[in-house]
């Protein structure tokens, strides 16, 4: 990665490095006309490319934003990533990407790596787990983040505050009203259905999943419906599929009124739908189904999924911008319930 240096350019142009710097990388003072010309010519002829590392060292500002997601290939995260990337580009920053599968230990490592690279802010997306086995790692993650903030870093959190974070300075949370939306969703669906109700949830302790489950139960109660039974599975398409297989079996062995299935997110809902279909069951005829997130790439599925619509890209933008603006209190996004065919609407 050798390349010509500012000094070489300066020598070639017959000026001092300082002057060359002023010409090449914007400075307050505008250098003389003829000089500027010579410097630029020299730079071009040498194929000079400023060394951002050196600039960062000298100015102590890197223009870097770190993004932490569970899995960049998951459409939920990639939508957020697009928002982050957009905001970053707008503010002339570059984004560093880390994927962690949601493992707190890996997230801690990612934060450390970003801190080492002196990223100016870190956006961390993806549900946290309060589960026992993650407790120790969560504490370390929180400590790492706190240290990062204490050193002047800013962190943008998507969804809910990081478990165990003590300080508030430096943190900017984009609150996703999972519980409220889930409640609204379940209320709306509950009005049209008798039940029984089933929730396909993620692992216990996964905050996002827990929030949504709680909201759904409350929404059902609001509508005067019985509480839902809960089926737990991994928080992804295949988890949904597993749960769907189990549910299909239940329906087979125990026929009764048409059940209503709430999946903790769209991707799980798609898995559930696939499993039901594989077992000869149809949505919404044999079971109503609702998701959460309203993932863009899943909107062409049929039956179209009733879901809670989240402006994912906007969420990514807000989380990023929030860390870049000094003002910026915690942002709350709205979201809305979208009724579609999978629950008999439309």
Partner DNA sequence: CTGTTAGCGCTTTCAC
Partner DNA sequence: GTGAAAGCGCTAACAG
Please tell me whether residue 274 binds a second copy under the rule CB under 8 A: yes
CB of 33: closest distance to DNA in angstroms? 8
Number of residues that bind a second copy (CB under 8 A): 58
Pairing mode, if any, of strands 307-309 and 336-338? antiparallel
Candidate ranges 14-22, 48-56, 129-137, 318-326; the one touching a second copy (CB under 8 A): 48-56
Q: Check binding of 187 to DNA (CB under 7 A).
A: no
- Residue 24 corresponds to which tokens in the numbers above? 């090449």
- Would you say 19 or 85 has its CB closer to DNA? 19
Residue from 22, 93, 193, 225 in contact with DNA (CB under 7 A):
22
CB 261 within 8 A of CB 185: no
Exactly one of 44, 54, 72, 136 binds DNA (CB under 7 A); which one?
54
Token pair listed for 157: 């959190």
| Site stretch for DNA (CB under 7 A), options 22-30, 211-219, 255-263, 315-323 | 22-30
Contact 234, 264 (CB under 8 A): no
Instruction: Identify the bridge partners of residue 230 per DSSP, sorted by sequence position.
Output: 199
- Alpha-carbon distance of 307 to 290, in angstroms, equals 5
Q: Report the residue number, 30 or 325, with the smaller CB distance to DNA.
A: 30
Among 9, 13, 23, 62, binds a second copy (CB under 8 A): 62
Number of C-beta neighbours around residue 131 at 10 A: 14
Which range of residues in 56-64, 100-108, 265-273, 315-323 is near DNA by CB under 7 A? 56-64
Task: Write down the number of H helices and E strands in the chain.
Answer: 12, 12
Cβ at position 53, least distance to a second copy in Å: 4
The span from the CA of 149 to the CA of 28, in Å, is: 30
**Residue 157: φ, ψ to 5°:** -115, 130
Nearer to a second copy, 7 or 72 (CB): 72
Q: Which of 37, 41, 45, 57 binds DNA (CB under 7 A)?
A: 57
Kindly state whether residue 152 participates in binding a second copy, applying the rule CB under 8 A: yes
Binding positions for DNA, 23-52, rule CB under 7 A:
24-25, 27, 29-32, 34-36, 48, 50-51
Of 37, 41, 45, 59, the one binding DNA (CB under 7 A) is 59
User: Closest approach of Cβ 60 to a second copy, in Å?
Assistant: 6
Residue number, 188 or 233, with CB nearest to a second copy: 233
What count of other Cβ atoms lies within 10 Å of the Cβ of residue 237? 18
Three-state DSSP class for residue 155: strand
Which x/- pattern, by CB under 8 A, does the window 70-109 give for a second copy? -xxxxx--xx-xx--x---x----xxxxxx----------
What whole-number distance in Å separates Cα of residue 64 and Cα of residue 105? 22
Burial of residue 76 (CB within 10 Å: 0-12, 13-18, 19+) is buried
**Best CA proximity match to 295, nearest among 63, 120, 82, 64:** 82
**CB crowding 81-111: b at 16 or more within 10 Å, else e:** bebbbbbbeeeebebbebbbebebebbbbbb
Per DSSP, the three-state class of 212 is helix
Q: For residue 11, what are its two tokens?
A: 């020598």
Of positions 27, 37, 41, 117, contacts a second copy by CB under 8 A: 117
Binding site for a second copy (CB under 8 A): 1-3, 47, 49-54, 56-57, 60-62, 67, 71-75, 78-79, 81-82, 85, 89, 94-99, 112-113, 115-118, 120, 147, 150-153, 237, 270-271, 273-274, 277, 296-298, 300-302, 313
Binding site for DNA (CB under 7 A): 2, 5-7, 14-19, 21-22, 24-25, 27, 29-32, 34-36, 48, 50-51, 54-55, 57-60
């Amino acid at each position: 990665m050798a390349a010509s240096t500012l000094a070489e350019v300066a020598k070639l142009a017959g000026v001092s490095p300082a002057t060359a710097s002023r010409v090449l990388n914007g400075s307050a003072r505008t250098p003389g006309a003829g000089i500027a010309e010579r410097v630029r010519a020299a730079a071009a002829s040498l194929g000079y490319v400023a060394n951002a590392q050196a600039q960062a060292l000298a100015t102590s500002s890197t223009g870097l934003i770190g993004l932490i997601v569970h899995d960049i290939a998951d459409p939920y995260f990639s939508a957020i990533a697009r928002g982050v990337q957009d905001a970053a580009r707008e503010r002339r920053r570059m984004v560093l990407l880390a994927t962690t599968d949601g493992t707190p230990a890996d997230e801690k490592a990612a934060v450390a790596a970003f801190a080492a690279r002196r990223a100016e802010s870190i956006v961390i997306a993806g549900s946290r787990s309060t589960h026992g086995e993650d407790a120790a790692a969560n504490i370390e993650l929180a400590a790492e983040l706190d240290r990062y903030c204490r050193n002047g870093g800013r962190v943008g959190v998507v969804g809910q505050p990081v478990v165990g974070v003590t300080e508030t300075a430096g943190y900017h949370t984009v609150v996703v009203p999972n519980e409220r939306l889930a409640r609204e969703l379940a209320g709306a669906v509950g009005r049209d259905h008798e039940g029984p109700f089933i929730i396909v949830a993620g692992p216990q302790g996964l905050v996002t999943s827990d929030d949504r489950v709680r909201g759904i139960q409350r929404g059902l109660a609001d509508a005067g419906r019985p509480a839902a039974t809960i089926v737990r599975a991994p928080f992804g398409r295949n988890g949904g599929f597993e749960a769907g297989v189990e549910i299909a079996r239940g329906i087979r062995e125990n026929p009764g009124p048409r059940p209503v299935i709430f999946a903790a997110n769209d991707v799980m809902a798609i898995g559930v739908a696939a499993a039901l279909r594989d077992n000869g069951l149809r949505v919404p005829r044999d079971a109503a189904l609702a998701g959460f997130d309203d993932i863009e790439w899943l909107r062409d599925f049929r039956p179209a999924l009733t879901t809670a619509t989240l402006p994912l890209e906007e969420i990514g933008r807000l989380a990023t911008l929030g860390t870049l603006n000094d003002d910026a209190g915690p942002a709350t996004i709205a979201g809305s319930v979208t009724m579609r065919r999978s629950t008999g609407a439309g």
